[in-house]
Structure 1
Amino acid sequence: MLTTTVFAGAAIALTSPALAQVAEPTTGTGLQETTEASGTGDDTIVVTGSRIQRRDLTSPSPIAVVAAEEFQLTGAVNVEQVINTLPQAVPGTTGFSNNPGTGAATLNLRNLGATRTLVLVNGRRWMSYDTNQIVDLNTIPQFMLQNVEVLTGGQSATYGSDAIAGVVNFNLRQDLNGAIIGGQYALTEQGDGARYDVNFAFGSKFADGRGSVTVYANYTRREPIFQDARAFSRNAAGDGCIVRGSTNSQTGIGTNLGGALSTCATRGGEVGLVPQGSASTPIATLPAITTGGAALGYVFNPTGGGTRAFNDPADLYNFAPDNYLQLPQERYLMGGYGSYEIAENITGYTELSFVKTSVPQELAPTPIGQALNLQIASPWFNDQTRGLLRPLDTDGDGYVTTNVNFRFNQSGPRNVDASRTAFRLLGGIRGDITEDLRFDVYYMYARTENQQFQQGNISRSRFAAATETEIVNGTLQCRNAAARLAGCRPLNVFGLGLADPAAIRYVTINSTNLERSDIRNFVGSVNGDLFTIGNNADAVAFAAGVEYRGMSASYRPDTFLASGDVAGFNAGQPTSGEYSAREVFGELNVPLLSENIVHKLELTGNARYSDYSLNAVGGVWTYAAGAQLSPVRDITLRGQYARAVRAPNVQDLFGGNSTGFPQAQDPCSDRGAPANRTEAIRQLCIANGVPAAAVFTRAVQPNAQIQANFGGDPNLQEETSDTYTAGVVFRPSFIPRLNVTVDYFNIKVQDTIATFGGGLNDALSLCFTVAQNLSNPICSIFQGVRNTATGAIGETSGGRNPNVLSANIATLRTSGIDVAADYSLPVDFSITGGDRSNISFSFLGTWLDKFRSTSVAAIPERETIGEGSVPIVPTLNPMPKWKHNARLSVSDGPMVLSARWRYFGGVEDRRLNNTFVGLVRTPQDPALFPNARIGAVNYVDLAAAFDATDKLQINIGVNNLTNQKPEVLGSLQEQANTFPGTYDVLGRDFFVGARLQF
């Protein structure tokens, strides 16, 4: 209870030393009765990042600790709501990720990617949800958390594969003795987006204290918000040239002048935000066929028959209102864990968990654009339209083939209900072998099954069949006899709402996709003390053990999706595979000096050998070495070097191989930018196999799409990373309860696994316009792929398909400084009638020195830090130079008042410093970008908690007190005209919660 707990007020316990004094904690908001770290029942504890038990919580690497009370003081019902606000984290997919999105919430440390962030619960691996073997944070019970430990940098020597960016360890509370019933409710100022959860937990000891058991259950519900519920996302926005003075103050969108941005000023306009609706509308459109242009030139009258000129932007379809801003969610979660002392100093333990969650997504009705064979005499057209079509009938058969764009509003929006069922079983035995030697053995099995039910997809082949008609005995029917037998009905899309419902049902396809992920994990370890060096109080300690991990996953798309005959959601290919790793590991902690020449000198080292069943990976070593030096008691210098790996996952290795036809521009054709038609590129194209006479002609690329092969590669090798950290911990004895840390980090990841070159179009551009050297690795997939007569790429052109598969080809690197501080001050003053109160402060900030990436090692690195910027990989989230979290709290008897300040620094458009001419970085004019720089954002959150009775606790609060709104972005956006995982999209948001404990 608040009245019996030391309330330090710093809900984010920012440094590992902050929890060193377990009896008198200096951090943690204190709504729990203890703030003990995960321990063994005596005075030893286990530090995340190590398997050695020890008597303090110091570490050669910085650890940020989030106390459980932070979730209460923010009204969070999912762990992502707190973890993603940490400066070390960059939002992955969240509850605002509609398109793109997966229905999961993922964790991404240092922006190195969710696949490179290892998630643990109680120090052990958690269950993954897909073929990428990523953890869905929705499966973790936030109401049962004791704390969350965040350790960035390579940790593969301790935990194995995937811990390249770092480790996040969610510790569930082990001290529950009694029952807790609680819940929270949150609602935005606009009265929408309700979120609530109801929780129950019970814990008890039995058999005279030899055993303990805890069970828990949760129900969570989140209501949807559509994008039209907020002014900033109501209208889709993009970059363009606008009429000066026409900008709408509510949305920032102006009247579009069209044309190139580079000539905007000379045409009397200014670069800004313009409507970015779609040319695929609920009324069919035709290209400018009378002039031979490629632009959409005509739109049909709503009543059908005739056409008029297409008006951009007035006729563009605003798809924003059809998309979720906040995704709905429904979750059932339950589980339990317990232990029993089966013999003296021998304890068996188990953990069980089950979760069922549903997170729908909704997109605008399916847009489609494809060539159709239209009957000129169709009653759908009047004479004016027939006059447009007739010149295209070169063979006189009464039919013309032309591109038609249409949006299937009559079939309703595209929906996908991503439902997920997951369970995890773990059992183990731990105990003492001798007084100084302990063991721990456990086995874990987890499975996640996903079902994605999609509505609103359209069959391209059926669409083509339903619009190719003939008139027989005065009756309009589908021309294809086989299609008629399959139920084809003529589909009139040439007007508003004119389609026969039966025809809509014929072309609309629902689909169900199934996905499964399994993990099997066995770990056996021993740890203990060996001997002491000199007069040291602490002994040399070690840990050693063996581990087995078996991973398998599968993705089974609907037959319709697998065929590729789909418009709506992306097609997919079946994927399945498995692999395993057998490992041995060891760790050593060596206290060299204690209260001697210096206060303390300690060395640490660990290593792991992993033998993978994958031939291309085989045996891999990972290792780490660190040191801590305290010349005096108040100051500790620390540092560590770590080598880590990530083995390729099932998707990387076995992703379904398929042939696709993506949109791409071959720089050797006339489809590339005119500025790239240089003599150097011409000679490069000739050297690559394009006939000299064909260079920069349509013959090289007759179609807008290029055929290529895509998928995983079973020959992938592991990613490797090198992490350096160095820092100082300052705990001055002359200022009790003050802890300050400053730590430098530097992480470089090599041979990162990604789609080769970022995809076919990017690979073509990088090879021919950036590298301009056929011996560069980025050009390797284009060797021997061209038709010798025309120079075209792809089997359909007589050449060979390039293999745009997963590859070990990219690099990532980042560096910066983490700053952390916490302080608490007891004061002899109370407004509630008590003897004293407590003021506490915590701070965690990150200064980002650099974040760089390449699509291939031989291409210049893309610098994504200027004043901060929006990177391209692995995610599109902004990365400012500086961001921080700070909290100030006052605890007074049964009451706590707390304020949090979240700061997110200014960022710049990634295109400013990532445009290359050849291999030369060419800075761009900021005037050519509507959001060249986005200003810093400050969020202020307030919360209060108090004991209503001895058993009832209540917490209330408001997040984003000043109602900060995101800036409207154009082409820079991720979705909803902003980055909804980074910037607050809800506005002022209220919450209330209660907990009854007995």
Structure 2
Amino acid sequence: MSNRFNKAALLSGGAIAAMALATPALAQQTMEDDATDQETAIQTSEGAEEGATTRVTITGSRIVRNDLDTAAPIAVVQDEEFKLSGTVNAEQVINTLPQVIPGTTAFSNNPGNGTTDLNLRGLGQNRNLVLVNGRRYMFYDPGQITDINTIPTFLVGSVDVVTGGASAVYGSDAIAGVTNFKLRYVDGIEAGGQYSITERGDGARYNLFSALGAEFDDGRGRATVYAEYYNREGVFQGDRAFSNFALGAESFGEPMQQFGSSTLPNGVIRYFGDGNRAGTEFAANRAVVFDDTPGEFRTRTGDTYNYAPVNYLMIPQERYLIGGHAEYDIGNGHTVYSEMSYANNRVQQELAATPVTGDFIVNLAAIQPFLSAGDFAQLQQLNATETDGDPDNIELFLQRRTVETGSRNSLDERNAFRILTGVNGPLTDTFSYDLYYQYARTRNANIQEGNISRSAFQAGLDGSATPINIFGPGTLTPDMVDQISIRAQNGDISTLQVVSGVISGTFGNLGMGADDLGIALGTEYRKVAAQFIPDTALSSGDVIGFNAGNPTEGSYDVTEVFGELNLPIIDNGNGLTLDVTGAARYSDYSLENVGGVWAYAGGVTFSPIDDVTFRGQYQRAVRAPNIGELFGGQFINFPGAQDPCADPAILGDATAVALCQATGVPAGSVGDPGIQLNTQIPALGGGNPDLQEEVSDSWTAGVVLSPSFAPGLNITVDWYNIQIEDAIATLGGGFANAINLCYRVIQDINSAYCQPFNGTRAANGAITVANPPLVSLANASLFEVEGVDFQVDYGTPVPFSIFSAEEDARLNFFFLGTHTIKSNFTPVDALPDEVDRCAGKFGVAKCGEPTPEWKWTSRLSYIDGPATISLRWRHIGEVTDDDDTIDYAAFGGLETLEATDYFDLSFAFDITESFTLSAGVNNLFDKLPGTPQFNGILVSNAPNSLLLGDNQEQANTYPSTYDVLGRDFFISARMQF
């Protein structure tokens, strides 16, 4: 699919009150209990002494304050949501939030990298900052992105999601917002586990966890240590009817059908030389395919290979987590604290056997024993009539699926650790300090099996090594397989160092009943470094099977000073309040092209009465380019795209036809779908050391309603708008956009958008791995997302009880939704009219993951003494295809993916005061992509069609957005003592 970052724009949480998603109460002490902690959850303090004031620090600010009202919208996910949804990995909850578009997930096999990341508002995984306990967390690669698989979900007390630029508070990377995971302390021993399995008996997942925590030295200190093991069984695309066949063909003007790859296990030969083809099987279309009888070929007539069944639908995972956090009062309120975490994460990807493609020199004498006499004579005829004067060798374009080697497998093993130590405490009665140092390091080892060595394959054809027989199915002997196979390995190392100090407190006031002024001043130093280390085979490009890449290595540091101000102006004691906030940060980067940059913010909250609060904020945020963007070595990938020169419709545009010819497509081949049979086109990418920072402007405005006539009801509505200028993206916004802009829009061979395709095409006009175009990164794009977020939470007692003697049951309702107004991406800022408008859209051409105009998640829970019954409703609105050049519906495909609703039911019961048992079923009605019948074959039991051909991400759908497992059961147990 396209390299486009804008996969969607969805909700900002817009809430001050916490989600009322209740489960049986568990006795637990959290890191948020103490006012000296860095962050405190936004939640009601039940049981607090009346009139007592708790001073807290809220995500999005470093100022300790007495109230919970902020100018920035914050969505808060409490730990109950993780328990009720049967969640072990955080992605299962966070990706259902309307403000999040799925990034890389457990269903990302190809493309994928074995990690799970977050994508706020669809602005890209590298544009939101992940915090743990209010501090930056470790990242996993040169892209400086956090793998949230490394966060112990069972210890999460809550998650805050703040939308909009937060660079003034947290620095670079917070351009779309921040997500803060707050880990809790445990008092005693907590242990448990969970088991999940689909209705079809596959995809088993289980985890075991334990934590030990206690206070010590008469309450001066407390500590928690934990360990967790998680194992997830893989599910193959062949295990589901809707994904068992690779569907497609609409891009070629044919009805959607069981399609696949043009690279076959039988072997395909294409001849583009000038030899006489008359009287040969090559005469019709220059291509032949070998029959099931080895050594005999025939004219190729649309044969394809179904690669889908052996690809993972859900990738397997094995993970170990250990860690702990502690704090100790060393006297007079000064507290030393520390955090430590270690994660070992093993994830596999599985792809079909390697498709070997490209131009090869073939020695006729070497391959003669493998061909029938008649077919060998045809090659002799072609060679004899060529003008190259070489009587022994012929150049052929070969395609051979080496199924004899087995599937390709990529194993990623990441080892990540993070250590942090700090001290905080009072400076005066009203001022305090917080100083810490952290070091984090992630190392990934990647081992690839099933690859083919291009040089060994060539040597087996040109006579310089033992000849190999690729002319028919199953013709490679074990010795031949050993001769051409190659194991490849690469690794990457990422490090992060942070030294941060802040002084915060209150002083004076403006009178008029307002609280004291709050201020925070601080400084921070960060150093990031990363390297990608491929082996010689990968870096040389000799590997066929997985993408080759050159080494990457780089680092930079930044020194920052920052400040915040909270200015309460009015508080008349009867509900009338007015507060103003401001923040600014100056960052001095060691990067010459970035240098010194400013980020700043200002906001206001106003309450005319107790029941109503209005709020608004403006933020200027910046993001410096990351290590991968700056220093990444060139690599080859295979983005999904349509080559305009292979589209018959191009023949109606004389300028485009001339441009295709000028860039290397033979006159007779323009508009021929046969020159680019695969929709995954090879291209080169890589870093650009001349990149500069991105700049964003974020606006939010909203209202919070807590009507006194309806106790327990909170309603928030927030409008947001985020615009990013000088956005870093692949030139043209991605390969698919770049090639479309060149041939259909700009149509100038001298343009920077056409140069990558000029002179890089093969003799037949195809774009091949032999000379892929380089489409690099640039500060040349614009993003804009806009929408309105809604949150409603309500809790009320009900006058009946089923499981308890007293009538103390409650109903809790929660709703979190967004209406996306804009999700725009302008690939080239110099062409402002060429805008990809992705609100309500999906597709490989421009928008990627579906970006519905409406998306929500809601939950209704009945809590009755020891029992909880809860129903969750997840809604994904209708989306339409983003490609105006292809009418998929005309060829049996889909132009519209209908609105989809999933319902999840869960139960929890306190068997004893220390033992809780939970169970549930997700996707209660077993909704899967597909239609009842496709070409006479039952592909799904679902009445609603989400089944796609060429316009898919993978597995004939968008598996990170839509459920692909079906009805899924879980049971879990948790003990505390």
Displacement of 1:310 in angstroms is 3.6
Structure 1: tracts of 5 or more residues without a match: 1-11, 20-24, 242-258, 262-270, 469-478, 916-922
Displacement of 1:950 in angstroms is 1.9
CA gap 1:62/1:665 in 2 versus in 1, 3 angstroms: closer
Displacement of 1:715 in angstroms is 1.4
Match of 1:474 in 2: none
Displacement of 1:828 in angstroms is 3.0
Displacement of 1:293 in angstroms is 6.1
Match of 1:148 in 2: 159
Displacement of 1:865 in angstroms is 3.7
One-letter amino acid of the structure 2 residue matched with residue 991 of structure 1: F
Q: 1:828-886 CA distances to partner (integer Å, 9 max, x unpaired)?
A: 3211222321111000001111111122112334343464434756x721011101111
Match of 2:380 in 1: 390
CA gap 1:863/1:857 in 2 versus in 1, 3 angstroms: same
Give me the whole-angstrom Cα distance separating, in 2, the residues matched to 1:760 and 1:68. Answer: 41
2:835 is the counterpart of 1:862:
yes
Match of 1:249 in 2: none
2:161 is the counterpart of 1:178:
no
Residue 419 of structure 1, aligned match among 404, 413, 418: 413
Match of 1:218 in 2: 228
Match of 2:138 in 1: 127
Match of 1:817 in 2: 788
CA contact (8 A) 1:822 1:842 kept: yes
CA contact (8 A) 1:48 1:169 kept: yes
Task: Give secondary structure in 2 for the equivalent of 1:56.
Answer: coil
Give me the whole-angstrom Cα distance separating, in 2, the residues matched to 1:877 and 1:148. Answer: 24
Give me the whole-angstrom Cα distance separating, in 2, the residues matched to 1:53 and 1:406. Answer: 65
Task: Give secondary structure in 2 for the equivalent of 1:911.
Answer: coil
Give me the whole-angstrom Cα distance separating, in 1, the residues matched to 2:200 and 2:731. Answer: 45
Displacement of 1:275 in angstroms is 1.4
Match of 1:282 in 2: 265
CA gap 1:803/1:237 in 2 versus in 1, 3 angstroms: closer
2:243 is the counterpart of 1:260:
no
Give me the whole-angstrom Cα distance separating, in 2, the residues matched to 1:283 and 1:773. Answer: 41
One-letter amino acid of the structure 2 residue matched with residue 151 of structure 1: V
Displacement of 1:650 in angstroms is 0.4
Match of 1:187 in 2: 197
Task: Give secondary structure in 1 for the equivalent of 2:96.
Answer: coil
Match of 1:375 in 2: 364
CA contact (8 A) 2:76 2:161 kept: yes
Report 1:896-907 matches (<5 A). 896-907=868-879
2:946 is the counterpart of 1:936:
no
CA contact (8 A) 2:614 2:704 kept: yes
Match of 1:473 in 2: none
CA gap 1:658/1:878 in 2 versus in 1, 3 angstroms: closer
* Over 6 Å off, 4+ runs: 658-667, 682-686, 703-709, 773-777, 779-782, 800-803
Give me the whole-angstrom Cα distance separating, in 2, the residues matched to 1:531 and 1:107. Answer: 41
Residue 987 of structure 1, aligned match among 943, 966, 971: 966
Displacement of 1:296 in angstroms is 7.1
Task: Give secondary structure in 1 for the equivalent of 2:537.
Answer: helix
TM-score, with length taken from structure 2 = 0.88
CA gap 1:942/1:177 in 2 versus in 1, 3 angstroms: same
CA gap 1:396/1:812 in 2 versus in 1, 3 angstroms: closer
One-letter amino acid of the structure 1 residue matched with residue 181 of structure 2: F
Q: 1:156-204 CA distances to partner (integer Å, 9 max, x unpaired)?
A: 0000000111100000013x21000111100000111000100000110
Give me the whole-angstrom Cα distance separating, in 1, the residues matched to 2:69 and 2:430. Answer: 21
Give me the whole-angstrom Cα distance separating, in 2, the residues matched to 1:963 and 1:194. Answer: 17
Match of 1:304 in 2: 294
Q: 1:696-738 CA distances to partner (integer Å, 9 max, x unpaired)?
A: 6889x9x989999752111110011111111110000010010
Give me the whole-angstrom Cα distance separating, in 1, the residues matched to 2:155 and 2:638. Answer: 48
Match of 2:709 in 1: 734
Report 1:24-63 matches (<5 A). 28-29=22-23, 31-33=25-27, 37=32, 39-40=34-35, 43-63=54-74
CA gap 1:630/1:775 in 2 versus in 1, 3 angstroms: farther
Displacement of 1:307 in angstroms is 2.2
2:231 is the counterpart of 1:230:
no
Match of 1:631 in 2: 608
Task: Give secondary structure in 2 for the equivalent of 1:986.
Answer: coil
Instruction: Choose 824-833 or 145-154, whichever is displaced more.
Output: 824-833
Q: 1:2-56 CA distances to partner (integer Å, 9 max, x unpaired)?
A: xxxxxxxxxx99654314xxxxx96654544469746425811111100011122
2:438 is the counterpart of 1:444:
yes
Give me the whole-angstrom Cα distance separating, in 2, the residues matched to 1:937 and 1:682. Answer: 42
Displacement of 1:685 in angstroms is 9.6
CA contact (8 A) 1:189 1:987 kept: yes
CA gap 1:180/1:712 in 2 versus in 1, 3 angstroms: same
One-letter amino acid of the structure 1 residue matched with residue 253 of structure 2: A
Match of 1:108 in 2: 119
Task: Give secondary structure in 1 for the equivalent of 2:591.
Answer: coil
Q: 1:35-91 CA distances to partner (integer Å, 9 max, x unpaired)?
A: 974642581111110001112222111111111111111111101111000000111
Give me the whole-angstrom Cα distance separating, in 2, the residues matched to 1:231 and 1:27. Answer: 36
Match of 2:209 in 1: 199
Give me the whole-angstrom Cα distance separating, in 2, the residues matched to 1:680 and 1:105. Answer: 44
Match of 1:252 in 2: none
Give me the whole-angstrom Cα distance separating, in 2, the residues matched to 1:627 and 1:950. Answer: 45
Q: 1:116-142 CA distances to partner (integer Å, 9 max, x unpaired)?
A: 010000000000000101000110000
Instruction: Choose 804-813 or 515-524, whichever is displaced more.
Output: 804-813
> Among the aligned pairs, what percent are the same residue?
45
Q: 1:521-541 CA distances to partner (integer Å, 9 max, x unpaired)?
A: 111001000211113241110
2:725 is the counterpart of 1:750:
yes
Give me the whole-angstrom Cα distance separating, in 2, the residues matched to 1:354 and 1:690. Answer: 52
Give me the whole-angstrom Cα distance separating, in 1, the residues matched to 2:883 and 2:640. Answer: 21
Residue 621 of structure 2, aligned match among 644, 658, 667: 644
Task: Give secondary structure in 1 for the equivalent of 2:369.
Answer: coil
One-letter amino acid of the structure 1 residue matched with residue 359 of structure 2: A
Match of 1:965 in 2: 928
One-letter amino acid of the structure 2 residue matched with residue 40 of structure 1: A
One-letter amino acid of the structure 2 residue matched with residue 826 of structure 1: P
Task: Give secondary structure in 2 for the equivalent of 1:434.
Answer: coil
Match of 1:264 in 2: none
Give me the whole-angstrom Cα distance separating, in 1, the residues matched to 2:928 and 2:459. Answer: 47
CA contact (8 A) 1:197 1:220 kept: yes
Task: Give secondary structure in 2 for the equivalent of 1:283.
Answer: coil
CA gap 1:154/1:39 in 2 versus in 1, 3 angstroms: farther
CA gap 1:690/1:461 in 2 versus in 1, 3 angstroms: closer
Displacement of 1:566 in angstroms is 2.1
2:78 is the counterpart of 1:67:
yes
Give me the whole-angstrom Cα distance separating, in 2, the residues matched to 1:657 and 1:305. Answer: 39
2:447 is the counterpart of 1:453:
yes
TM-score, with length taken from structure 1 = 0.86
Give me the whole-angstrom Cα distance separating, in 2, the residues matched to 1:294 and 1:571. Answer: 35
Match of 2:591 in 1: 614
Match of 2:935 in 1: none
One-letter amino acid of the structure 2 residue matched with residue 280 of structure 1: T
One-letter amino acid of the structure 2 residue matched with residue 993 of structure 1: S
Task: Give secondary structure in 1 for the equivalent of 2:242.
Answer: helix
CA contact (8 A) 1:13 1:65 kept: no
Residue 877 of structure 1, aligned match among 849, 859, 862: 849
Give me the whole-angstrom Cα distance separating, in 2, the residues matched to 1:942 and 1:260. Answer: 44
Match of 1:358 in 2: 346
2:632 is the counterpart of 1:655:
yes
One-letter amino acid of the structure 1 residue matched with residue 513 of structure 2: N
2:548 is the counterpart of 1:563:
no
CA gap 1:223/1:597 in 2 versus in 1, 3 angstroms: closer
Report 1:325-344 matches (<5 A). 325-344=313-332
Give me the whole-angstrom Cα distance separating, in 1, the residues matched to 2:957 and 2:269. Answer: 32
CA contact (8 A) 1:13 1:67 kept: no
Give me the whole-angstrom Cα distance separating, in 2, the residues matched to 1:156 and 1:309. Answer: 61
Instruction: Choose 513-522 or 862-871, whichever is displaced more.
Output: 862-871
Match of 1:721 in 2: 696
- What do you get for the CA RMSD once the two structures are aligned? 3.3
One-letter amino acid of the structure 2 residue matched with residue 428 of structure 1: G
Give me the whole-angstrom Cα distance separating, in 1, the residues matched to 2:253 and 2:845. Answer: 24
One-letter amino acid of the structure 1 residue matched with residue 842 of structure 2: S
Task: Give secondary structure in 2 for the equivalent of 1:877.
Answer: strand
CA gap 1:948/1:928 in 2 versus in 1, 3 angstroms: same
Structure 2: tracts of 5 or more residues without a match: 1-10, 37-52, 272-276, 930-945
Match of 2:815 in 1: 843
